[in-house]
Structure 1
Amino acid sequence: METNGIPTGPIDREPIDYPTPGVFPAAAEREGILREVFRAAGVELGAYDERIAHWFAETADWSTFAVVASWVQRAAQAAKDNGAA
């Protein structure tokens, strides 16, 4: 797990152990985490993407948020790994 709490591998159980169990980041911090995941993955955002990223960070519970962010992170890593092969 990265320091941002986003799992870096397949998820077999609900990811509720953010650095401190039971303590989850506020919506503004989740949005920052999501934007960093997008940036690291090379995802360019349009105006509507920005709107949905903000909405998702505001409304998703931590477990859902962490899983979706993990998918983006792992897909980018897989593309990088496959490109290097």
Structure 2
Amino acid sequence: MHNPPHPYPISDGPLDTRPRGYADESGCLAVLLAELTAAGVELGEYDRRIVDWLAVWDWPTVATIASLIRRAARSSQ
């Protein structure tokens, strides 16, 4: 599975605790886009606006969303 370049890994399994670490907006955006691309998700203009909006959230939230995308993609294969 695709692993985006980030010092804090994206979980492949259910999360029981808050992900640790920090990433700025550009790092969060890169992780979200990498997971969506790896999942084969095509983004429309509004989709991209929402992904941009999500990228300003804190790293634990973004890491959790990225993990959900990864796990959903894996379960659909």
Q: Corresponding residue for 2:52?
A: 54
Separation in structure 2 between the aligned mates of residue 65 and residue 36 of structure 1, nearest angstrom: 12
Higher relative contact order structure (alpha carbons within 8 Å, sequence separation ≥ 6): 2
Deviation at 1:7, TM superposition (A): 1.0
* Residue 29 (1) aligns with residue 31 (2): no
Q: Corresponding residue for 1:13?
A: 17
Deviation at 1:56, TM superposition (A): 0.6
Unaligned ranges ≥5, structure 2: none
Structure showing the higher helix proportion among its residues = 1
Q: Corresponding residue for 1:69?
A: 66
User: How much identity, in percent, do the aligned residues show?
Assistant: 39
Amino acid at match of 1:69: A
Deviation at 1:37, TM superposition (A): 0.2
C-alpha RMSD of matched pairs (Å): 1.3
Aligned length: 72
Unaligned ranges ≥5, structure 1: 19-23, 81-85
> TM-score if structure 1 supplies the norm length?
0.77
Deviation at 1:64, TM superposition (A): 1.1
Q: Corresponding residue for 1:21?
A: none
